[in-house]
Amino acid sequence: MRIIDHFVAGGGLAPATRPDVGRWGDVFDPNLGEVQARVPLGDAAVLEAAVQAALGAQPAWAATNPQRRARVMFRFKELVEQNIDALAHMLSVEHGKVLADSKGDIQRGLEVIEFACGIPHLLKGEYTQGAGPGIDVCSMRTPLGIGAGITPFNFPAMIPMWMFGVAIACGNAFILKPSERDPSVPVRLAELMLEAGAPEGILQVVHGDKEMVDAILDHPAIKAVSFVGSSDIAHYVYRRGVEAGKRVQAMGGAKNHGIVMPDADLDQVVADLAGAAFGSAGERCMALPVVVPVGDKTADALRSKLIPAIAALRVGVSTDTGAHYGPVVNAAHKQRVENWIRTGVDEGAELVVDGRGFTLQGHEKGFFIGPTLFDRVTPDMSAYKEEIFGPVLQIVRAPDFETAVRLPSQHQYGNGVAIFTRNGHAAREFAARVEVGMVGINVPIPVPVAYHSFGGWKRSGFGDHNQHGMEGVRFWTRVKTVTQRWPDGPSPERGAEDGAAARVQDAFVIPTMG
């Protein structure tokens, strides 16, 4: 049985070669429904070994000039690109997403690494000459020390790189706790970072469940925590981390809406929905699981086009290059999604296409779910209120534009939203009024580019800083402001004794800047 060990510097841990000792998690092959590896579920002792290694490495790394740190990021980017095929295969056979999605997962992470390569410019502070008589003021961004990331199963490459890329470039050490469901890629990324020239202890990986999460949130040497996962856990992480005096950004769940105006190009909308709702088996926080056509005429036309498009989707094993999407991550998640489909039926929604019971020949034990379509879903249904996180698309009919704005604005989640229209005024009005953190206009998955920031509102995001972009730089650093004066010495008109007395007197006066 393959063992996926912790990646902790300095030999602080014995190799995890005894699956009969301690607590362990199973890593499945979602295509076959079989265990392919095991991962140790670490505790506070494992974390302490990683923290001690980080404490030893971080001061010298912070003292390394930003240009040299940038060179490590450039080299890391090159190594990931050279290994992208192997990384994508590793990701697909543990997560279940098809190879094209796995490469996209890695590429979107690399875009943040590219952003982090510009860290010499990003860390430039502010300077004011002559803020007062002979007084200059400057500010500088300094690293926090040790940061930590707790990442979900659905993007095991992208989200870790979103976090550690900026944190490490800013001069911090970083401890990553990835999902125990698909931990191989995060470990491999840490190995590549070491190969790129980062010192041992700057990027480490520890595995675990709630026990490890609590140890991270409680450890006094860890100054900041970034989290992505479900909203209930995000709220827990935020609250416990803040109570422990940490800086915390915690991204939660989502229920993203796609508004379809009567003037929209329905063929393009259907093509976009096929990827946005069903791609990666719907296991994306930026998926588009709710479509809101405005007016029954629009809804009927959209539905008639969606049905054949869904029938044409090909569900296959994650290494099948012709498949549109693969299995979900494990049996428990498959059961959860199917339970939500049953709940939708019980609540009175019209089940147009039922993906339950889907099997693939030769992979009958795999965690596959066929594409599912509901119509006439209403806002009072729990299947609408909650995140399903599977290949399920719901049609919620809106009689008018005002209702279409109100639906996502009043939802408990506020991660992303999209509007499909040819009308510039309607798009502008919608973007200005909707209460959601990320808006797409004729863009079904509005994930911002790396030099902007990612983050939702309401129960989709807890904390004051978003992921990556300058928001990420601000999160992983703190500002130090220096006010300085360089006196010229005694005045020529006064003797040394008078000058010394004047300097003592001046020391009791706070300099004015005006």
pLDDT tens digits for range 464-514 = 889 999 999 999 999 999 999 988 766 555 555 555 555 555 555 555 555
**Catalytic-role residue among 117, 138, 170, 285:** 285
Mean pLDDT, residues 11-29: 69
Beta strand spans in 70-145 (E) = 127-132, 135-143
Q: CATH 3.40.309.10: which residues of the chain?
A: 257-450
Superfamily of domain 2-14+23-252+463-478: Aldehyde Dehydrogenase; Chain A, domain 1 (3.40.605.10)
**pLDDT digit string, tens, across residues 418-475:** 999 999 999 999 999 999 999 999 999 999 999 899 999 999 999 988 999 999 999 9
User: In angstroms, what CA-CA distances link 498 with 369, 486, 489?
Assistant: 87, 19, 11
Q: Distance between CA atoms of 424 and 258, rounded to whole angstroms?
A: 16
| Residue-wise pLDDT tens digits, 372-387 | 999 999 999 999 999 9
Identify the burial level of 33 via C-beta atoms within 10 angstroms of its C-beta, where 0-12 means exposed, 13-18 middle and 19 or more buried. middle
The 10 Å CB-count burial string (b at 16+, else e) for 295-317 is: beebbebbbebbeebbeebebbb
Band the pLDDT of 396: cuts 50, 70, 90. very high
CA torsion sign for 381, 384, 387, 388 is: positive
Q: What is the pLDDT of residue 513?
A: 52
Kind of pairing, strands 34-40 and 127-132? unpaired
Active site residue 138: no
CATH architecture of 257-450: 3-Layer(aba) Sandwich (3.40)
d(CA 323, CA 103) in angstroms, rounded, equals: 14
Question: H/E element holding 168?
Answer: helix 158-169
- Cβ pair 390, 368 in contact under 8 A: no
Instruction: Look over the chain and give the mean of its residue pLDDT values, rounded to a whole number.
Output: 93
- 19 pLDDT higher than 60: no
Measured in Å, how far apart are the chain's first and last C-alpha atoms?
71
State how far the Cα of 376 lies from the Cα of 344, in Å rounded to an integer: 10
Q: Return the pLDDT at 17.
A: 46
Encoded amino acid at 441, one letter: I
DSSP state of 398: B
Q: Give the pair of three-digit tokens for residue 283.
A: 């296991």
**Angstrom distance (rounded) from CA 46 to CA 51:** 9
Q: Where in the chain is the domain with CATH 3.40.605.10?
A: 2-14+23-252+463-478
For the stretch 66-124, pLDDT in tens is 999 999 999 999 999 999 999 999 999 999 999 999 999 999 999 999 999 999 999 99
Nearest Cα to Cα of residue 4 among 178, 226, 175, 173: 178
Residue 282: DSSP 8-state: G
Rounded CA-CA distance 354/360 in Å is: 16
pLDDT at 10: 73
pLDDT for residue 38 is more than 90 = yes
- The rounded Cα 317 to chain-centroid distance in angstroms is 25
Q: What are φ and ψ of residue 238, in 5° steps? A: -60, -50
Tokens encoding 491: 């005045």
pLDDT of residue 488: 77
Tell me the per-residue pLDDT of 313-363, one tens digit each, with 9 for 90 and over. 999 999 999 999 999 999 999 999 999 999 999 999 999 999 999 999 999
Q: How far apart are CA 323 and CA 279, in angstroms?
A: 10
What pTM did the predictor assign? Answer: 0.92
Place of tokens 């299995």: 327
